[in-house]
Structure formats: structure tokens, C-alpha cells
Amino acid sequence: MNGYTAVAKILKKEGFEWMACFPANPLIEAVAKEGIRPITFRQERGGIMAADAYSRHMASKGKYGLFACQGGPGIENAFGAIAQAYADSVPLLFLPDGPGSYKSSVKPNFSGPQNYQHITKWSASITNVNEIPDLMRRAITALKNGRPGPVMLEMHRDVMADEIKDLQYELTQKYISVPNINDTRKALLKILHAKKPVIWAGQGVLYSGGTKELQQLSELIQVPVITTMPGKSAFNEDHTLSLGSSNRTAPKPVWTWLKESDVIFAIGASLTVTNYGIDMPSGKFLIHSTNNVDDISKEYKTDIGLIGDAKETFKILIDEFKSIIDDPNNIKIKTKIKNSSIKEDIKQVKEEWMDEWEPTLKSKIIPINTYRVIYEINNHIDHETSVVTHDAGHPRDEIMPFYTASVPHSYIGWGKTTHLGYGIPLMIGAKMADPSKFCMNIMGDAAFGMSGLDIETSVRAKVPITTVVLNNGTMGGYNHSLPHAMEKYDAANMTGDYAKIAEGMGAIGIRIENPEEIGDAIKRAKEINFNELRSVLIDIKTQQQMEFSIYS
């Protein structure tokens, strides 16, 4: 067999079931022969974004996204999406074609490992066909272990055409670490003796499959939970101990508890400072639990560091709590938890926040206020059987505080570098992960321009999704930073009949101009997705607004 067949057989053995791709790459034909389904996207970024979503949903179950493309323009075009996956700590396997082992060091040929080394956790090239088993073992081991991130193995065509004499390959394993028991007990005692502690839960909770353990610990110690943007859905936002999820906008309880807390227990989060998140206030005692030692004291001084898997860390904390609470010498801790008024305090702040925002959420103005769109989605979607995501810019800032994520992976929060157009392919990947889910992305008209053609991919591949376009004819907020450019030259303004474009790609287009029509459109979209297996685009005529859930 040649190198491509060998790689395909290894992928099959490792449990890969489908591969996002953009031709030409001989691996596409090789995996098809092995029963791995290739899905061709309209551009490289879209394929990687779909693989990204699949990994976010399935990594806790040992399944990962896979993408292949040609060398030259393909590997060059893929750069942005791999960079986004690296920033968001998403494990996916990237198998690009190479220019040829004899060309890779000759300028201006594009060398994969040289150019991708800073945005992948591991990268290499196949320069000898007999090295394939070892290189694939290293690649997939890196994919499964440690800090999640993309892994790249470049395949040079001249080498891959050679015959491999004997393919010997054993399945790779995932290894889980746990923190030091003494540090864990010290951290728990600090939380239990704190005046106003808070849990800051990140995407690592989802990757570890530790959502049940997070809820159990929160309830036992009566400490409220904030989730990060990538961690949104790790904790049920209908729960009485949920403060909500944060990006640079957040529910009012998030702002209140971060400001007033004395101890912050961050788990499953890198605590990387980003323009699209809330900075941690100074003067806090920080307990930081992560699977990556490089995160410790990276941006904020860590007072207690716990290195290990989030789920396993929760289990240790729960066991430690039970031993502490059973000790007669700790009666004060038991009394404090029993008499806690934390749930009533959270409820009060939530009610204040919702009373403040209710007129906006129920606005009847035309063109439609974006918050009314979010309100209607919240009230006409089955949160437990749906997957929703935002797109970059104002849609993210508007949706994140108000959309309720109730079960794990019911929302994909993303965006340390916020590439426009991520939403459509993310929902294709989410639908591949679980076809029983209603998958909806909400994006602006500028974001549609970045990935809108992949609606045709969803139609062709029979992976039906629903896209909501907030069609306000402009890039949100840019009129404040580009007033003269926009007034004189119409910069950052745009027009389009996106429902009509979707119809041209085989999807169903629905146009909405009245807020009262939104609920029925969502119901209809779901019916079409499941009964006709067709994608739907809901083009909603909205207006730009500059009001956000931000409290200093």
C-alpha cells in the first residue's frame, strides 16, 4: 500500500468517521475507500471550523475533528482557522498535502511545520513512508493528551507515493493526571472559609466531561458558578447557583460577584487575558486548576495551583468535602453552608437585571431590535435538544448574556481571536456530532460574507442547519470608529438579500421584518431541518444598537 492508504487505515483504526476537506489531496480518495466519509467545504476555513465544532462536542468521548487539504494555496488558506482553534484550545487533526520533500526547504515553497509551529501543539512532515506509523502515533497522542490544540502532519506527495512494506500500528491512549491531594485540600479549605467565593468554570470542564461533578460540588459547598465564553453550557444557566456566562458582556450577577468575591476558584480555564472576556479584578485569592502547567501565574498571580483533569479534580474535591464536613471540629463550616443565603442573593440580582432589560428584550420597534430576536429564540427553542452559537462582533456581545444554555454542549462559545463567519461551519460540525440536535447559528451580515457559501455544503451533505442573519446593513459599532469613512464612502456598510442567496444554494429562505413573526419562523425552520433535511436561512431585518450588558 502507499502512504495515503496507510494513513487512511490508521485513521479508521483510531475511530475517525468523517473528514472535512477541500481538494486536491489524495487522502480524500484513500479515506473514502476505508469507509471514512469525506465532506468537501467551499473553502479551507469552513472545513476546519466544522472539524473544530465536532471536536468540542466529541473530545470527551474520544472523538476528534479531522481536516485535509492540498499543499500550496490550501495549507496557506487554512492558517487563520487553525490559529483560531489554537487560541481556543481545540484539538483537531490537520493533514495537508506537501509540495514534495525535495522542495519544502526551497523558497518560496510553503513549509507546513515551519509556518505552523507557533499555532499547533505538534507539527511534522512525512519524509519517509516507513515513518508513517510512528508519526501518526505521535500526532494522535498529542491530539488526545495535555492542553488541547490542533496537530498537523504534512504529507509530501513524492514520499506518500512510495510503498510501505509492513503497516504495524497500535491504538494510542489518553492519559489523565490529577492534582496533589494536599494542595487540593488546602484549596478547598480556603474556599470553605471564604466570605464570598465564586467558581470560574472554563471549557476544560466540558472536555473532561465534568459537568455533573461541577454541579455536585457547587451544590455541596453552596458556591455560585460563572462560566467563560468557551465554557458556556458547562453549568446549567437555569440553576439557582448560576451567575451566567461571560465574554466582554455578561449578566449583571457575573459583574457583581466578580467585584465582591474574595476567593476565585478557576477550573478548566487558561485565564488568558483577551479583548473578548472580562478581566479578573485585582486583590483576589486565586486558586487555578488547569491541565497545563504553563497557565499557572501566566496572566494572574496564582495562590494555589492544581494541575490535572477538571473532572478528576472535582471528584477529589467532593471526596475531601465529605471528609471535612463529617469532622465534628468543622461544625462552623457546616453551619455556614446550611445558613447560606446565596441563592436568594443571586435571585435578587438576576431579577433586578431582567427588570432593567425587559423593555429592550420585548421591544416592538421596526426594524427589529436584536435583543427581541434573542428573546424570541429563547422562548421558541427547546434548549435541551438544540445547539446554538453566536458569531463575532455585536451578535456575540448581545447573545452571550441572554441566551440560556441548560445542558452540556447546547451552546458553542468561542472567540479569543473571533474570526467572522465561524458560525455556519460550526453548526455543520455540531450536526455531524449529533444529528438529533437542532443546530442554529446567529450571525451578522458581514459574517455571512465570510462563510455563507457553506450553506450549500450543508445542503449537499444533507447536514441541515438553521442560520439566522441579523441583517442591519452595517458592521455593528463601526460608525463610531469610522464616522467619516462611512458617511463619505459607505465603508463598513453592506446590503444583500440573504434569504434569496440561500435559496440559490438549495436552502429555504425566510424573510422577517416584524418581530411577531420570529417565533413561527423558528418553529418552521426546525420542521424543515428534520422533515425535509434542508437547511434554512432566516433573514431578519434588524437595526444597529449600542446597548450592552456591561456593568463596572
pLDDT value for 107? 83
pLDDT tier at 110, thresholds 50, 70, 90? confident
Mean pLDDT score, 361-369: 97
Cis peptide, bond prior to residue 359, ω within 30 of zero: no
Mean pLDDT score, 396-412: 97
pLDDT value for 228? 97
DSSP line for 10-48: HHHHTT--EEEEES--THHHHHHHTTPEEEE-SSHHHHH
pLDDT tier at 492, thresholds 50, 70, 90? confident
Mean pLDDT score, 370-390: 98
For residue 233, is pLDDT > 90?
A: yes
What mean pLDDT is reported for the chain?
Answer: 96
Q: How far apart are CA 286 and CA 245, in angstroms?
A: 19
For residue 329, is pLDDT > 90?
A: no
**What residues does 125 pair with on adjacent strands?**
154
For residue 416, is pLDDT > 90?
A: no
Could you tell me the domains of the chain? Answer: 3-160 (3.40.50.970), 181-340 (3.40.50.1220), 362-543 (3.40.50.970)
pLDDT value for 198? 98
Mean pLDDT score, 170-179: 97
Residue 87 cell numbers, joined: 487560541
Strand segments (E) across 253-385: 263-267, 285-290, 304-307, 368-369
- The torsion region of residue 123 among left (phi > 0), alpha (psi -120 to 50) and beta comes to beta
The alpha carbon torsion through 94, 97, 102, 106 (nearest 10 deg) reads -80
- More confident position, 424 or 327: 424
Residue 425 cell numbers, joined: 461551519
Mean pLDDT score, 157-169: 93
pLDDT value for 184? 97
Q: Which residues of 154-190 are buried (b: 16+ CB within 10 A; e: fewer)?
A: bbbbebbeeebeeeebeebeeeeeebeeebbbebbeb
pLDDT value for 216? 98
For residue 267, is pLDDT > 80?
A: yes
pLDDT value for 165? 85
Identity of the residue numbered 46: G
pLDDT value for 324? 94
Mean pLDDT score, 197-223: 98
Q: How far apart are CA 410 and CA 437, in angstroms?
A: 9
Percentage of residues in the chain having pLDDT higher than 70: 100
> What 3-state DSSP class applies to 289?
strand
pLDDT tier at 101, thresholds 50, 70, 90? confident
